[in-house]
Amino acid sequence: MLLDVRVIPNATRSGISGMREGRLLLRISAPAVDGKANRAATLYLAKVCGVSKSRVRLVSGEKSRHKKFEIVGLNAAQEQTLLADLLKSERQ
């Protein structure tokens, strides 16, 4: 599964804030210094997707707010359920 994400570093707390321009909006409390925000985003996505951190990989956007993450090991049904759950949890 490829996930388009817009990461906003230095947030008050980490969490998903909906969608923006077709990308998942992810606020991360870590600063965008020395890859800290990238590592925090990878760990957060692994946690909410219910997979190990080794199954989440930053594919592109290392120095950009627009990133693409690959999440390995999910089938199509799991992907749809996961996206729905991510957006639902943001609304609560």
pLDDT in tens, 25-81: 999 999 999 999 999 999 999 998 888 999 999 999 999 999 999 999 877 777 778
CA pair distance 49, 65, nearest whole angstrom: 20
Q: Which amino acid is at 76?
A: A
**Tokens encoding 33:** 């210094």
Residue 31 and residue 41: Cα distance in Å, rounded?
11
Q: Predicted confidence band at 90 (pLDDT cuts at 50, 70, 90)?
A: low
Does the pLDDT at position 92 exceed 60?
A: no
Q: Give the integer Cα–Cα distance in Å for 41 and 8.
A: 10
- What does the chain come to in residues? 92
> How many structural domains does the chain have?
1
pLDDT tens profile 9-29? 999 999 988 888 889 999 999
Specify the pTM.
Answer: 0.85
Query: Which residue blocks in the chain are alpha helix, DSSP H?
Result: 36-49, 76-91
Task: Give dist(CA 17, CA 69) in Å, integer.
Answer: 17
CA distance 68 to 5: 6
CATH number for the domain spanning 75: value is: 3.30.1200.10
Q: What domain range includes position 57?
A: 2-91
